[in-house]
Structures are given as C-alpha cells and as structure tokens.
C-alpha cells in the first residue's frame, strides 16, 4: 500500500520519501565537512544534538552534478538505529497524500512510481543509501 | 577478601529474595501451584545461601541451606508439604529477615539458628520436633537503600550532563570579555555543580575490571582442558574501575585474547619442558592507571609470535613485500591485526595471535584507545591496550583547519607553537633537537585549504601508546593547523554508522550552537605520518 510521500523536485526529477521516515527538514547556511568525505557525501550536521551524516541527493543519482553553494535544506530521515540527511539545495518540496497515490503505483517498478498528478517519482531507498554511505566512508576516505 | 564494598548489592538482592520467599510461602499456603512455587522458593533459598556464604555470613547460609534442603525433598516428592513445614519455613524466614537486618545495621550475627535448623531437620526426618519460638520481626514496610536502575537512564543522564558541559563552554566563551564579578561567580558555581553532577553520574557508571575478569578462569580452564595444557591465570589491578560502556566493549576481545593465548601462545607441556619452562603456562592480565587512562596488558609466557610466518601470510594476502620490508618490528607484529589475516587455519597454527585481533583492535580504537603488541620468540607475547577510563567528557583543544573546527585531545598535546610558513616547507618539523613528521591537518583530512598564511599554529602531539621505556619523541608529530581556540570539556559521543569507521577521528561532539565537531584520533594520524616519513 502506498504511504504519504514527501516529494522533492530536483533537476527535473521528483524524488520521494515516506513521510513517516522524515524526522525533520533543516535549513543550513553551510554543512561542516566530513573528514575524507567523497562521492555523494556532503558533510555532517546535528539534529537536536544528534550528529547526522548528510549526502547530496542530486549527486546520488547524478555523480557529475555540481553541488549548489549557499543556504540549503536538508531532509533528515530516520529509521531503527539509522539517521541520514539528504542535502536538497534549494529544491521545492511538496507532498503526495495516500488518497492521491491510491491506484497509481506501478507494479514491478518499485523505484519509480506514478504520482497523484500522473507524473512519475523516484522512491528513494534510503536504507540502501545508508548502507552504501557506511561502506564508502569505511573504505574510500582518506584512510583508504 | 574485603566484602564491605559488595554489602549494598548483597542487601539489595537479599531483600528481593526474601520478598520472593514470602510471596512463595503465602502462595503455597493458599494452595497455588502456578508457576511452580516450590521450584521458585528453592531458587530463592539457594541464592541466599550462596550469596551469604560468599560474604561470610555463616548463620544465614546454614539456615537457608536447611530450608533449601526441606524444599528439595518436597520438590522431588520425597516429602509431602505439611502445614507444620510451612509454619517452620515462615519462622525461619523471619529469622533470616532478622539476620539480614543485622547485616544492614552492622550488628554481630550472634543469632542462634541451631534450634530452627533442628526443627527443620526433625520435619525432614519425620520426627515431631518441639516448635521453636522465634520473635517475629516487627511488621514494617521499608524501601531499599539501593536501587536497580536501567543503564539507559544513566546513559540519558550522562548525555544531559554532556549537553550542560557544552552549554557551559559556550557561556564561558560568550562572557570572556565580561568583567562582572557576579557573572564570573555564577559561571564558577554553575561549573562546579555540573562537574559534581558529572562526577556522580560517572562514579555510578564505573565498574571494577574484576567484573570483566571474573569469568575468565572458567574460559582458561575449558580451553586448557581441550588443548591438554595447564595454564594459570593471574589478574593484577582488577580493582581499577572503568566506565561500564568501555568494559562492556572489552568483554569479547578479552575472551579472544585469552583464548588465543591458551590455544596458540602457551606451548604443550612437552615443548615447555624442552624449553626449560615450567610445565604450567601463565597468562597475566595487568591493569594500571597512566595519565588518567587505563592500561590493560594481557601477556603470556608462551612461544611468542613467529614473525616470518606472519609476514609470509601477509604477503600471501597481497601486502607488498617491499612495504613489509620497510616496516618496523612493531608494525610487523601489528600485521596480526589485519582483518582476514587471522581467520585462516594456517595462522592459528603459527603459534601467533591471529584469531580476532582485528576485532580487538577495533574495539579498543572505538573508544579512542590504542593497542600495540610486544613479542619475543620463545618467551611470550604481550598485548597492551590503552583506554580512557570514561567514555564521554574529554578535555580538548579546539583548532581550525580550512573553515572547519576540530578537537585535539589535551592528553595528547605536548606543546602549542607558532611557526612561520617558510619553516614548514619539508615533511618534517624540528622539535626537541629532532625532526618529527609534519602533518598538515587540512591535507590529512582532505579539507579545502585556506589561502597561504605567514604564520601557522603547530600542535606537537604524541600517540601515548609507547612503552614506558621509550622516548616519547619517537612517536610525536607536529600538526599544522590554521589557528587554535579554547580548551573545552567536550562531551564526546561515539561514532555510529555511517561514520563509525571514519579515518582520523575517534568521536564527535555537538557544540552548544549545534555545530558537530570531530575529536581527532591522534594515534591514527601519527601512525600514518610516521609510515610516510619512514618510506
């Protein structure tokens, strides 16, 4: 069953997170860097005293994308023992509610679903991204 | 044995067992049989008996033993529980209460329990003994003087104290230019209170190393009998207390090390005889305090690590031979901590310490500690772990590199200097008459550099894991940073995934303004710098 979605429109693509996973949307002037951060890892922020590793949502799906400078928004998602921030720059954020989504999901294509307005969105598997971030920060940083 | 320090725990547990006994006896009297009250009662008496014997409270131990004996017969259906038995058990329980009260009040345990034991024996033997009159203790409802508290509550308290420390540091910085005596007094009082709060929380979290080592004789016994070796375990400094979180993290690594020492370090008796060694091997755990950090050494008098075999295995795993040739002896020994090197059977057969040493090293480093190995072929091996005693508040110096802030642990800092850019051209820095590695922090951590300055701050650091006899400077380095700020008491949180294995840092704090700042892992940074210089 489709759940309410937070949708981010970035470089013409709509990315979606389950709203139940979204812990906060944080505004930040700059993101302190993570030592040896690489690829799509942007840096680290804190949410209510808890450190949150931030990845660049655009770079996750387009490694050549040039990141934005200046104030930005970070979508923080949380699951069991996991927390991760997605730097979305100044991208627009909207919602798709369960009622709009009913019947619009395309079976067999879990990553890309049709939204309520008929426009497709890419459901972000942030758990897999969390694992990938853990892997690259363990092997690719300056310590490699 | 000095048992006074365990008295509070004894009283707390005894109270719980007495209350369980009373509940169980009342249940039996009412004919309840779910869940097996005799079995539960038996366990309560058995626990009181064991605890009391350990503490030297002979009267309590004997009386609970008699009751346990009676219940054992009821449990095994050799006796049928009668109302006379229940009455006797209630009386004996009153006597136990009285005795335990005397323990609490530090009164002598002169209570004569023999008549009660005689009554129980009489009931067991089917005689009709004269019932003993025991003055029932005055009915009183009292709360225990000790409390069992969920560890998570202490974790929460510690986190709150940590936040207070960070806020205090921020206040101190904000009010630096303020000359008001009232403000300074208030800050001083606040600081003292936060320190006292923190000390109390920490002392409640501290556990003696003994808690960890108590189970090891059994581990040694089991592995020794499996391998046909005779091994003696000696523990020194077990009374030293360490934060529970750190001890907990050391449990599996310690078992790994002991297992390896027995299995692979200590030779079989025949081989020991050939080497003119005593037939009984010895493993020693020695804990001591150095500069407010705890050092735990695990040594054995076995065959030592065979370096040639370790090197052969490392080369077999793809470590370049030229890299190994350039390694110091200490680095060669540390190869046993390479993940994967130790898991193969070949290594467990090379009388080295392979199994799980990578796990041991990771566990030690997870709390900002360090590990090194000393080994003499034929004489034995020593693993030296150096750890903080508490896991959270660290005195640290704030430094800047590029536009970023980092913390350097004060315990690692030898000196803070200024140096002209022109003096920092090579890869080394002249300090104490020697050239030590010069590390540019921004480059080491892959941070965007600021434009060149005329003068930089140089922080001389040492890795702190060197042997007592070694000259410190050999493991020192000069870290070049843009500037330094205040020394603060930082509440350091452990690094959790996805940053749990981030190179060059050992923890993180969140400043009062919400900015996360990493605590640098000086040992790791120096280790890499020394390797670079030696290449």
Q: Distance (Å) from the C-alpha of residue B307 to the closest C-alpha of chain A? A: 25
pLDDT confidence of B61, banded at 50, 70, 90? very high
Task: Give the CATH number, domain containing residue B83.
Answer: 1.20.120.160
* Average pLDDT, rounded, for chain B: 83
The per-residue pLDDT for range B295-307, each reduced to its tens digit, is 999 999 999 988 8
pLDDT at site B508:
92
- Chain B residue numbers touching A50 (CB-CB < 8 A): 510
Could you tell me if B411 and B375 lie in one domain? no
In a domain, B465, yes or no: yes
In a domain, B140, yes or no: no
Q: What b/e readout covers B446-482, taking b as 16+ CB neighbours within 10 angstroms?
A: bbeeeeeeeebbbbbbbbbbbeeeeeebebbbbbbbb
Tell me what the mean pLDDT of segment B371-375 comes to.
91
Contact A84, A55 (CB under 8 A): yes
CB-based contacts of A18, cutoff 8 Å, min separation 6: A3, A4, A5, A6
Q: Distances from the Cα of B513 to the Cαs of B1, B393, B398, B454, B485, in angstroms?
A: 51, 18, 15, 31, 16
**Is the CB of residue B288 less than 8 Å away from at least one CB of chain A?**
no
Task: Give the CATH number, domain containing residue B427.
Answer: 2.40.50.180
For residues B320, B324, B327, B328, the Cα torsion angle rounded to the nearest 10 degrees is 170
* DSSP type of residue B423: G
Minimum mean pLDDT among A17-21, A81-85, B94-98, B361-365: which range?
Answer: B361-365
For chain B, the domain total comes to: 4
Instruction: State what percent of residues in chain B have pLDDT above 90.
Output: 24
- Chain B residue numbers touching A51 (CB-CB < 8 A): 493, 496, 499, 508, 510, 516
In a domain, B139, yes or no: no
The per-residue pLDDT for range B157-191, each reduced to its tens digit, is 888 888 888 888 778 878 888 888 898 899 999 99
Q: Which helix (H) or strand (E) holds B90?
A: helix B83-104
Q: How far apart are CA B189 and CA B184, in angstroms?
A: 9
In a domain, B133, yes or no: no
Q: Which two tokens stand for residue B301?
A: 């008098």
Structural domains of chain A in order of their starting residue, each with its CATH number:
5-139 (2.40.50.180)
Question: Which SS3 state, helix, strand or coil, does residue A72 take?
Answer: strand
Contact B89, B134 (CB under 8 A): no
DSSP B370-386: EEEEEEETTTEEEEEEE
pLDDT at site A56:
94
pLDDT at site B424:
85
Could you tell me if B239 and B193 lie in one domain? no
- Does A75 score more than 50 pLDDT? yes
How many contacts, defined by CB atoms under 8 Å, are there between A and B? 81
- Of residues B428 and B140, which shows the higher confidence score? B428
* Residue closest to B132 by CA, chosen among B29, B219, B202, B63: B63
Q: Distance (Å) from the C-alpha of residue B171 to the closest C-alpha of chain A? A: 17
Could you tell me if B200 and B217 lie in one domain? no
Q: How far apart are CA B491 and CA B165, in angstroms?
A: 7
Q: Which two tokens stand for residue A65?
A: 């994308």
pLDDT at site B519:
93
Q: Which two tokens stand for residue A127?
A: 């758990």
For residues B272, B278, B279, B280, the Cα torsion angle rounded to the nearest 10 degrees is -120
Could you tell me if B107 and B73 lie in one domain? yes
Nearest to A138 among B444, B446, B501 (CB): B501
Could you tell me if B165 and B296 lie in one domain? no
A118, exposed or middle or buried, with CB in 10 Å at 0-12, 13-18, 19+? exposed
The per-residue pLDDT for range B433-447, each reduced to its tens digit, is 888 889 999 988 888
Could you tell me if B397 and B351 lie in one domain? no
pLDDT confidence of B2, banded at 50, 70, 90? low
Interface test with B, best of A37, A49, A126, A128 (most B CBs within 10 A): A49
In a domain, B59, yes or no: yes
Q: Do B517 and A142 touch (CB under 8 A)?
A: no
- Of residues A10 and B291, which shows the higher confidence score? A10
Q: How far apart are CA B377 and CA B4, in angstroms?
A: 44
pLDDT at site B131:
65
pLDDT at site B297:
94
Could you tell me if B420 and B508 lie in one domain? yes
Q: Do B499 and A137 touch (CB under 8 A)?
A: yes
Tell me what the mean pLDDT of segment B404-420 comes to.
91
Task: Give the CATH number, domain containing residue B235.
Answer: 3.30.565.10
Sign of the dihedral through C-alpha B237, B241, B246, B247 = positive
- Chain A residue numbers touching B502 (CB-CB < 8 A): 34-36, 137-138, 141, 143
Specify the pairing of strand B516-520 against strand B404-409.
parallel
pLDDT at site B522:
87
Strand ranges inside B276-337, DSSP E: 281-290, 293-300
Contact B279, B269 (CB under 8 A): yes
DSSP B349-415: TTTS--TTHHHHHHHHHTTT-EEEEEEETTTEEEEEEEEESSSSEEEEEEEEETTEEEEEEGGGEEE
CB-based contacts of B20, cutoff 8 Å, min separation 6: B40, B41, B44
**Is the CB of residue B497 less than 8 Å away from at least one CB of chain A?**
yes
Tell me what the mean pLDDT of segment A109-130 comes to.
73
Instruction: State what percent of residues in chain B have pLDDT above 70.
Output: 88
Could you tell me if B261 and B377 lie in one domain? yes
In a domain, B132, yes or no: no
Residue B353 φ/ψ, nearest 5 degrees: -115, 80
Q: How far apart are CA B78 and CA B415, in angstroms?
A: 78
Could you tell me if B228 and B346 lie in one domain? yes
Q: Which domain holds residue B522?
A: 393-534
In a domain, B438, yes or no: yes
Residues 45-64 of chain A with CB under 8 A from chain B are 45-46, 49-51, 53
- Does B457 score more than 90 pLDDT? yes
In a domain, B129, yes or no: no
Could you tell me if B486 and B527 lie in one domain? yes
Minimum mean pLDDT among B363-372, B382-391, B448-457: which range?
Answer: B363-372
Could you tell me if B26 and B45 lie in one domain? yes
For residue A109, the cross-strand partners are none
- Does B259 score more than 80 pLDDT? yes
Domain end residue (candidates: B143, B175, B206): B206
ipTM of the complex: 0.88
Nearest to A35 among B403, B446, B448 (CB): B446
Could you tell me if B423 and B525 lie in one domain? yes
């Amino acid at each position: 069953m489709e759940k309410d979605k937070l949708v981010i429109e970035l470089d013409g693509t709509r990315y979606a997170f389950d709203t139940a996973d979204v812990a906060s949307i944080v505004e930040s002037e700059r993101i302190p860097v993570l030592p040896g951060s690489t690829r799509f890892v942007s840096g680290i922020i804190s949410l209510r005293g808890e450190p949150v590793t931030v990845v660049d949502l655009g770079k996750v799906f387009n490694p050549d994308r040039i990141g934005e400078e200046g104030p930005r928004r970070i979508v923080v998602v949380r699951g069991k023992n996991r927390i991760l921030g997605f730097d979305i720059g100044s991208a627009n954020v909207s919602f798709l509610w369960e009622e709009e989504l009913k019947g619009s999901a395309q079976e067999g294509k879990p990553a890309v679903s049709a939204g309520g307005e008929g426009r497709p969105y890419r459901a972000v598997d942030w758990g897999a991204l969390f694992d990938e971030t853990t892997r690259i920060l363990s092997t690719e940083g300056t310590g490699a | 044995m000095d048992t006074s320090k365990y008295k509070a725990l004894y009283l707390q547990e005894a109270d719980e067992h007495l209350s369980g006994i009373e509940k169980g006896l009342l249940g039996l009297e009412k004919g309840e049989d779910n869940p097996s009250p005799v079995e539960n009662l038996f366990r309560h008496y058995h626990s009181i008996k064991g605890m009391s014997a350990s503490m030297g409270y002979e009267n309590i131990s004997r009386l609970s033993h008699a009751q346990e004996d009676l219940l054992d017969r009821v449990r095994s259906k050799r006796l049928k529980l009668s109302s006379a038995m229940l009455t006797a058990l209630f009386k004996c329980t009153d006597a136990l209460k009285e005795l335990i009260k005397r323990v609490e009040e530090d009164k002598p345990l002169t209570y004569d329990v023999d008549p009660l034991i005689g009554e129980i024996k009489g009931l067991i033997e089917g005689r009709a003994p004269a019932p003993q009159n025991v003055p029932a203790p005055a009915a009183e409802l009292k709360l225990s003087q000790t409390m069992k508290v969920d560890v998570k509550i202490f974790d929460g308290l510690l986190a709150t104290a940590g936040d207070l420390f960070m806020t205090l540091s921020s206040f101190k910085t904000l009010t630096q230019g303020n000359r008001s005596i009232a403000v300074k007094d208030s800050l001083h009082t606040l600081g003292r209170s936060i320190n006292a709060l923190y000390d109390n929380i920490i002392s409640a979290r501290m556990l003696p190393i003994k808690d960890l080592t108590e189970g090891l004789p059994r581990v040694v016994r089991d592995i020794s009998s499996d391998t046909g070796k005779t091994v003696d375990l000696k523990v020194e400094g077990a009374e030293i207390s360490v934060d529970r979180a750190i001890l907990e993290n050391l449990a599996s690594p310690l078992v790994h090390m002991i297992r390896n020492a027995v299995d692979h370090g200590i030779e079989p008796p025949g081989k020991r005889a050939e080497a003119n060694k005593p037939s009984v091997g010895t493993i020693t755990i020695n804990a001591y305090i150095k500069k407010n950090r705890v050092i735990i050494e695990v040594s054995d008098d076995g065959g030592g690590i065979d370096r040639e075999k370790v090197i052969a295995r490392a080369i077999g795993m793809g470590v370049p031979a030229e890299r190994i040739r350039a390694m110091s002896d200490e680095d060669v020994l540390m190869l046993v901590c390479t993940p994967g090197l130790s898991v193969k059977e070949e290594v467990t057969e090379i009388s080295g310490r392979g199994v799980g040493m990578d796990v041991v090293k990771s566990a030690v480093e997870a709390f900002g500690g360090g590990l090194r190995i000393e080994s003499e072929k034929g004489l034995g091996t020593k693993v030296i772990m150096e750890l903080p005693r508490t896991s959270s508040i660290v005195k640290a110096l704030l430094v800047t590199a590029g536009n970023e802030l980092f913390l350097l642990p004060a315990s690692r800092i030898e000196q803070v200097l200024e140096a002209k850019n022109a003096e920092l051209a090579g890869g080394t820095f002249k300090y104490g008459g020697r050239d030590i590695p010069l590390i540019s922090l921004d480059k080491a951590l892959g941070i965007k550099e600021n434009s060149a300055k005329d003068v930089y701050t140089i922080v001389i650091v040492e890795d702190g894991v060197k042997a007592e006899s070694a000259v410190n400077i050999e493991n020192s380095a000069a870290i070049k940073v843009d500037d330094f700020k205040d020394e603060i008491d930082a509440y350091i949180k452990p690094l959790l995934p996805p940053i749990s294995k981030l190179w060059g840092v050992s923890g993180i704090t969140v400043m009062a303004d919400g900015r996360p700042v990493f605590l640098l892992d000086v040992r790791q940074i120096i280790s890499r710098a020394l390797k670079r210089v030696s290449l």
